Structure 1
Amino acid sequence: MKKTWLLGLGFFSISITWALYNAFVPLFLDNYLKSTAMIGFMMTIDNYFAMFLQPWIGHRSDKTNTKYGRRMPYLLIGMPLGAVFATMIPLHTGFLTLVIFMVLMNLSMSLFRSPTVALMPDITPDHLRTKANGVINFMGGLGSVLAFGIGSKLYGVGSYLPFLSAGIVMLISMIVLKATIKEPITLGGGIGVSSEAKPKNPVRIKDQLDKTTVLILAAIFFWFVAYQGVEALFTLYGKNQLGMSDSAASFSLTFFSLAFLIFALPSGWLGAKFGKKKIISIGVVGLVVIFGSLIFIESVLLLRVFLIIGGIFWACININSYPWIVSTGKEESIGTRTGIYYFVSSLAAITSPPLLGWLIDSFGYSALFISASAGMLLAFLCLLGIAPEKAKNTSGPGNSLPLGAK
């Protein structure tokens, strides 16, 4: 558990950076673009690279063999680059330099995101992964809360301060991870591993796509379409629909992230006790109701109350889905399945903001939460096609691993 909390620093720095990116970059783009759909598209152009890089890097890390391990080399390269380019985003001098810094930052983040996530199951026994995912997502949620809460205040002082702070945190996290996380030799394929310890057959991506996994990935796609669209466009919604200031709109997301943070650990415990599919389904149905209700809410106070409830339901989904995906494959395929997971989430990130932005341009800002609610409903329909969970690959007490995923 100590290693899990330390690994959470990686998620802490990633979450801070992404939260600031999603909250403030649309405001930078709004200075140059007047179409919400085009802003949404620009918020996803980097994901075209991430969609292909993250699965390949995750798959590649399964086969990497260095004295630093199989995941750590990607962190040592990607994290410093991500820190530098994140810091440069608010220093842009025009639309072209803004786009260049956006793309370079996201390419850098793609180099280490899948290996960082894959480290969790690498260093965690099978029956503890759901709880461990709660721990690291607690750290990620803490990063988001600080990004929206403190970051919005720093942004009021200077637009460069939140991004500079995120870059510093990322560099500190990298140093701590390098000093404290030692990858298991038997999993890492590192120096000194006997031929018997290495996988006898190569890991192939197409072999990972059984029926249950495909249905789970489809559900993941739809709930990320809903979530990514709301996260990317909420500050514009608050500003243009509710008349909030930039900082007040971004600060409102703190309530969603804070609820996610508080419920991250309980969600992991509930998933382990009652089954991941059941807890995820509760979260999906809950967000159908929450997003649908936000259409009619104009009070900022009531909006923030509903965001708190929504954050709890999002924790039910997000904490349990990645261990679910990992549990459908073998140990040597963890990086590959992590990459597949991020391929689907990146595809959703590419699809969602421009699609929801186009709907906003066509029908008004109420279309944001109508579309988000519809996305969650489609995710629930996918979950209905998945067979009930069975005890599979159980390696410890209290473990109930489903057949099929962050």
Structure 2
Amino acid sequence: MSGSTVLWVTLAVFAQESVWNFYDAQVPAQLRHYLTSAGLVGLIMGMDNVLGVIVQPWMGYLSDRRVDSRLGRWPIILAGACLAAVPFALIPWTSSLPALMVCIFFFALVANAFKGIIETLVSDYIAPENRSKAQGFIKAGVSLTIVISSLVSLLVVDRSLTLAFAIPPILMLIMIGVSWAFLGRHHTEKVLPSHRDAGAPDHAVPGGAAEFSSPWAVVRDLVRDPSGARLLLMAGIFCFAGMWSALRSLLTPYGTEVLGLSRGAAGGLALPGAVAFLIAVVPIAYASGRIGQIRAIRYGVALFVVGLLVGSVNPSPTTTIVSMVLSSIGYAVFAVNALVALWSLAPNERVLGTYAGLYTVASAAGMALGPALLGLTVDLTGWRFMLLNAAVFGAVTFTVFTRLARKTADENTGPREA
């Protein structure tokens, strides 16, 4: 695995994630100028997930058809970054809700169009046996975008909102441009042989890439897979992404309602877990290469559930922090391996962009429904049992990955090991 290749791919992913993090941090406050309903603000902020579900599989499929060309997926990425930067930078200049909504919609639409494609660069330039390791470095880099977003918010927003909204897209364009300069300009020299050789046979499905005439054909193949492994993995991604999103969304009110913390202190409960994620993610990536991605995710789900159970036994700020640290490390295992595992089960190397889009569909759907499902259980049992309720959902996720691990082991269709 070339360290420089991982660096340039990480830079591209970092670039687009830095914009998304600032979007999530500051756009709700912008909406609050015109809306008093927190529910309506949340609904608008969830719109990007809906657009991602619609757009990303199609754009991933389109990029798969370009991967053998001279510039590969890069024209879509470069055009998307330039187009997305404009409505993003215009957000603070809007003076009415309709104008703001136009900027939000077009940014979310265009940014979603190339978001999954950037993540697919891992499969273009990094061999299958090294993708988990690469994902570890990429996820560590992505976690730093929260720091960048926080610094821009802290140091610039109060002084100049227009400048604050200009900085992330400018950084995105610069970093994607640098990544393209070192990878995209020499795409045909650096891309993996399995992509570069248009005549190479695909490794699993008779007829190769030509069999898939549309994203729907890829989906039909996934659903009709005799082993059911890919569909199980999609279900597992849905469950885990949903529970993680639910936990993050409801942790602050849990801290105020159950632990008696102030809003600010409750909001800081997730910080130790974020630090643990950053420290653990690269070692996890190397360990996952030895034991296999799906088995590693199963262990991560188990740790996630154990963390929640620890926090539910005797609720206190200390036990909740321990709970978040353990659960965050468990989630880090999932974050590093889930997309790589799905790629490993794909029918051939020429649909990996489409599969990145399908990963987004599963995770975005889980993130949209997870908080509502966990919130419903809180309404039934009270805030005191929120972590225990989440552990029950986590146990369901563990069952899914246990079955998947056994199925892939029995049928020898699991991820390739390093």
Matched, 1:126 2:143: no
**Is the CA contact 1:23–1:250 (under 8 Å) kept in the aligned structure 2?**
no
Name the structure 2 match of 1:345: 363
Question: Which letter does structure 2 place at the counterpart of 1:207?
Answer: D
**In 1: Cα distance, 2:111 partner to 2:157 partner:** 26
Distance 1:176 1:16 in 2: 15
Q: 1:33 to 1:231 in 2, by over 3 A?
A: farther
Structure 1's 93 and 60: CA in aligned 2 closer, same or farther, altered over 3 A? same
1:385 lines up with 2:394 in the alignment: no
Matched with 1:266 is: 283
Higher helix share: 2
- String of CA shifts for 1:62-89, please: whole Å, max 9, x gaps: 1126865231112112222333333444
Give the direction of change, closer, same or farther, for the CA distance of 1:283–1:107 in structure 2 (3 Å limit): same
Aligned positions of 1:5-404 closer than 5 A: 5-29=7-31, 37-64=39-66, 69-90=71-92, 92-148=94-150, 150-151=151-152, 153-154=154-155, 157=158, 160=161, 163-182=165-184, 183-184=187-188, 199=208, 201-203=210-212, 204-205=217-218, 206-209=220-223, 210=225, 211-232=228-249, 242-245=261-264, 253-291=270-308, 297=315, 299=317, 303-329=320-346, 330-353=348-371, 369=387, 372-388=390-406, 389-390=408-409, 399-400=416-417
Question: Would the alpha carbon gap of residues 345 and 377 (structure 1) be closer, same or farther in structure 2, given more than 3 Å must change?
Answer: same
Preserved contact between residue 54 and residue 111 of structure 1 (Cα < 8 Å): yes
Q: CA deviation at 1:167?
A: 2.0
What does the per-residue CA deviation read over 1:353-401, in whole Å, with 9 as the maximum and x for residues that have no partner?
5555677788776686566444423221211221435496899xxx528
CA distance in 2: counterparts of 1:96 and 1:74, whole angstroms: 28
Q: State whether residues 237 and 362 of structure 2, in contact with CA within 8 Å, keep that contact through their aligned partners in structure 1.
A: yes
The 8 Å contact of residues 67 and 73 in structure 2, kept in 1 or not, is answered as no
TM-score (norm 2): 0.79
Q: TM-score, normalised by structure 1?
A: 0.81
Residue pair 1:69, 1:188 contacting (<8 A) in 2 also: no
Q: Report the structure number with the largest CA radius of gyration.
A: 2
Q: Which has the higher contact order (CA 8 A, sep 6+)?
A: 1
Q: Would you say how many aligned residue pairs link Structure 1 and Structure 2?
A: 393
Query: 2:142 & 2:284 partners in 1: Cα distance?
Result: 14
Structure 1 residues 111 and 324: CA distance shift in structure 2, 3 A: same
Letter in 1 for 2:155: L
After superposition, the C-alpha distances for 1:32-74 in whole angstroms (9 at most, x for unaligned) are: 6565554443321222221010011111111126865231112
Structure 1 stretches lacking a partner, 5+ long: 402-406
Contact 1:259 1:312 in 2 (8 A): yes
SS across alignment from 1:385: helix
In structure 2, stretches of 5+ residues that fail to align are 203-207
Aligned counterparts of 1:24 and 1:363: Cα–Cα separation in 2: 33
Secondary structure at the counterpart of residue 337 of structure 1: helix
The one-letter code sitting in structure 2 at the alignment partner of 1:3 is: T
Q: Structure 1 residue 332: deviation in Å?
A: 1.4
Change (3 A) 1:333 1:173: same
User: 2:65 is matched by which residue type in structure 1?
Assistant: K
CA contact (8 A) 2:304 2:329 kept: no
Let me know the Cα RMSD of the aligned residues.
3.7
3-state DSSP of counterpart to 1:282: helix
- 2:205 is aligned to none
**Which segment is superposed worse, 270-279 or 356-365?**
356-365
